[in-house]
Chains A and B, each alone.
Chain A
């Protein structure tokens, strides 16, 4: 019950690689990237006194003559095939609007979801009227980016059994830059919970489903109470994710799992204390380095 009160202290982020300062491809706004006039000015750069200068903090990328800076702190810039976790904000004619941490709300068309009753079902006018029964405002979904519109808005689809409405669990909102791109973003972690690392920085933690649910087109959600042990694992994972994000560690199944293992000696609620966070992330770093060899 006791409240934990303390004086604030200046903390540095834990990093074992001191070489980050020597890396030439990391820039801050105002850094001159090149004074060679032969290059083209891309996103995140501007020309000042014939010198190509960065306008955002991030990583320099060069494609032939085009120089861009990919910002580290950014909203989600979706690409086709990205896995996202999003929240329905609006139900419209034949489409849902989805909040996916990008600059514009994404759309999920009625024609790009699997409705109960098989993939080849025709969509009737009734389906349009009962859209809110499938997904209503506030609901969370996992989906894949189907296409990107001209203005950068995303079109999503859930035409696979792994996508669809999300049931009980915890959403953690992080920066999209921290999610490592991988072959799969759905993981059943050996510690007893599952995780969806959305490319948009939204991470969904949920109890590992027992058996494959019956054919419900992904719109069925179980409201059965989750067991206390599962809850503890999920809460621990949530706090671990926040700790890793606070120290800017790239998130993927291994790093999350190592962090979970390092945190086991602490109580779940203590993980978010700054000094514990530092210790756990340090251990995770070491484990990751060892694993790399």
Chain B
């Protein structure tokens, strides 16, 4: 992660501010920075979203491909995650610098999102044991200014909401072979139910209190943080501690309670915004333009309308 240097006196200032519930930018301990969300930004994906949170900016693309279901769960599709840490975000990511962070992020995202309680994975099944939809979720970090997890999770939820998977028609010929036909009509598509998709809330322990949506400076003052994924009902689905420091059980309890509260409040405005954007349709003024040359989607052969056996 991008590092910033903070002097001892600045640390003391930040710590005392958080103790008094007034952070450097005037927010309280449980306030988010203002967030801008735009969906359908990359034309060559099935669903995409760009989220900016303060100066943190992430772009998420979802691409649906036909693949083979995992042998252990033949009736379910699955999600794959890849996080690309662009060197545009910070020079530290140059070369292989961002690889470690990328793997860490994608592993966490896999844990949080790829289960049947978050997304109805059964709806991704085309033909049990043989074909299913695989959703490749590609995340591109454009700018880092703290709180990557939360921004990414909101972007993923928005992108999944935006995802349109073409309807398929299965026909079997005389020899018992099956043929999959994709619908040509762009409006004849399947939408995912994102109701239960969780959002991630990161709580940073700074001094004796904890804050949500920490900036890089605040992050530099914290010893440990707790990553909690919360659904719209306030159910915690996943929890992870990151950072070198330790947390005592009492503060973990406090932090999970705060995480539940904040996470629950995150879903309603997000869904409202997404529906509002959807209702605007083509009238919406597009702000973020994505260039086709951008290496956002991992190179894969184009989808064909081929009859697989």
Contact = CB atoms under 8 A, between A and B. Distances in A.
A3 B269 contact: yes
A20 to B, nearest CB: 23
B12 A235 contact: no
Nearest to A168: B13
Contact of B52 (A8, A89, A225): A8
Interface stretch (B31-39, B98-106, B175-183): B31-39
A267 B5 CA distance: 29
A139 interface: yes
Chain A at the B interface: SS class: loop
B20 A231 contact: yes
Contacts of A8: 36-38, 52, 287-288
Interface stretch (A180-188, A252-260, A268-276): A268-276
B284 A7 contact: yes
A54 interface: no
Contact of B31 (A1, A235, A238, A273): A1
B36 A7 contact: yes
A169 interface: yes
B26 A271 contact: yes
A239 B22 CA distance: 13
B36 A6 contact: yes
A137 interface: yes
Contact of B261 (A1, A228, A269): A1
Contacts of B32: 3-4
A4 to B, nearest CB: 4
Interface in A147-180: 166-171
A70 interface: no
B190 interface: no
Interface centre among A4, A7, A139, A166 (most CB of B within 10 A): A7
B287 to A, nearest CB: 4
A3 B265 contact: yes
Given A7-B287, A9-B285, 5 more contacts: A7-B284, A8-B38, A223-B8, A223-B9, A226-B16
Interface of A: 1-10, 87, 89, 137-140, 166-171, 221, 223, 225-226, 228, 231-232, 235-236, 238-239, 267-269, 271-274
Interface of B: 5-10, 12-13, 16-17, 20, 22-28, 30-38, 52, 261-262, 265-266, 269-270, 273, 276-277, 284-285, 287-288
* Nearest 10 Cβ contacts at the A-B interface: A268-B26, A269-B26, A168-B13, A3-B32, A235-B26, A8-B287, A8-B36, A138-B5, A4-B34, A225-B16
